[in-house]
A and B are shown apart, each in its own frame.
Chain A
Amino acid sequence: DTGVSQDPRHKITKRGQNVTFRCDPISEHNRLYWYRQTLGQGPEFLTYFQNEAQLEKSRLLSDRFSAERPKGSFSTLEIQRTEQGDSAMYLCASSYPSGTSVYEQYFGPGTRLTVT
C-alpha cells in the first residue's frame, strides 16, 4: 500500500495560465475525491468519481475547472485561466469500494497552487 500520491507538490503560475494536477489513488480504491483547502479553513469538497464516472460536482467547481478519471485509475484536475482566488491546497483522496470503509478517505499530500 503506497498511499495516495499527487503531482506536482507545488505549482506557481501566473494569472490566466492553465494548470493540471495529477492524483494516483491507492490501487484497490475505486472512489476518488478532490477537495480544496484555503488558509485557515478545512477542506471543501469539489468532486467525486466512482471508477471513471464523475458522480458529483460541487458548486465550487466553476466552469474553469474540469476533472477526469479516464480509466478509473489516476485522475487529473485542470484549472483554466487561473485567478488569484484559485490559490489553495488541492487535496485528493480515495476510498475502498464497499462496506463502511467506503467512508474512510485516505488523503494524498496535496498540491499547493500559488497564482501570482
Chain B
Amino acid sequence: AQSVTQLGSHVSVSEGALVLLRCNYSSSVPPYLFWYVQYPNQGLQLLLKYTTGATLVKGINGFEAEFKKSETSFHLTKPSAHMSDAAEYFCAVSAPAYSGAGSYQLTFGKGTKLSVIP
C-alpha cells in the first residue's frame, strides 16, 4: 500500500520569497513521485515527476523537487514566488508496473494551498 502526507494544508509566502511545500511518502516498492497543481474550478496540471535517474527534477514554471529515499521525501521548491503561483498543490505516488505492487493509479496527498502575499 502507498500513502502520501503533505505537511501544512495552507502555506503563505511573500512574493519573491522561497516556496517550500513538503511531501513525505510511504511505499513498499521504489516509488514514482509527482507534483500536480490545481487552480480553482480546474483539473490538475502535472508540474514534475520522478521515475528513475537524477533525484533532482525540474518542472514547469520554475519548480523543482528532490527525491530523498533516506527521508522518504519529495519536497517541492521554487526560489522566488510569483502571484500566479497561488493555487493548490498535490503530491502523488504510483508504483512502477514492474514492481507488481499495483496498477498505474495515483495516490494523492490532501493538498497544500499556497497563498502569495504581494
Listed in ascending order, the chain A residues whose CB lies under 8 Å from chain B are: 4, 31, 33, 35, 40-45, 48, 55-56, 58, 91, 93, 95, 100, 102-110, 112
Hey, which chain B residues are within 8 Å of A33, CB to CB?
Answer: 104-106
CA distance A25 to B52 in the complex (A): 27
The answer to whether B45 has its CB under 8 Å from any CB of chain A is: yes
19 A-B pairs with C-beta separation under 8 A: A35-B106, A40-B111, A41-B111, A43-B90, A44-B108, A48-B103, A56-B105, A91-B43, A91-B44, A93-B43, A95-B104, A100-B49, A100-B52, A102-B97, A103-B51, A103-B96, A104-B46, A107-B44, A110-B41
Hey, which chain B residues are within 8 Å of A48, CB to CB?
Answer: 103-105
**Chain B residue at smallest Cβ distance from A55:** B103
Q: Mark B38-70, 1 if CB is under 8 A from A, else 0.
A: 000111111001011000000000000000000
Q: Mark B91-114, 1 if CB is under 8 A from A, else 0.
A: 010101100000111111111000
Given known pairs A42-B111, A103-B94, the reply for A4 and B43 (CB within 8 Å) is: yes
Listed in ascending order, the chain B residues whose CB lies under 8 Å from chain A are: 4, 9, 32, 34, 36, 41-46, 49, 51-52, 90, 92, 94, 96-97, 103-111
**Chain B residue at smallest Cβ distance from A110:** B43
Hey, which chain B residues are within 8 Å of A56, CB to CB?
Answer: 103, 105
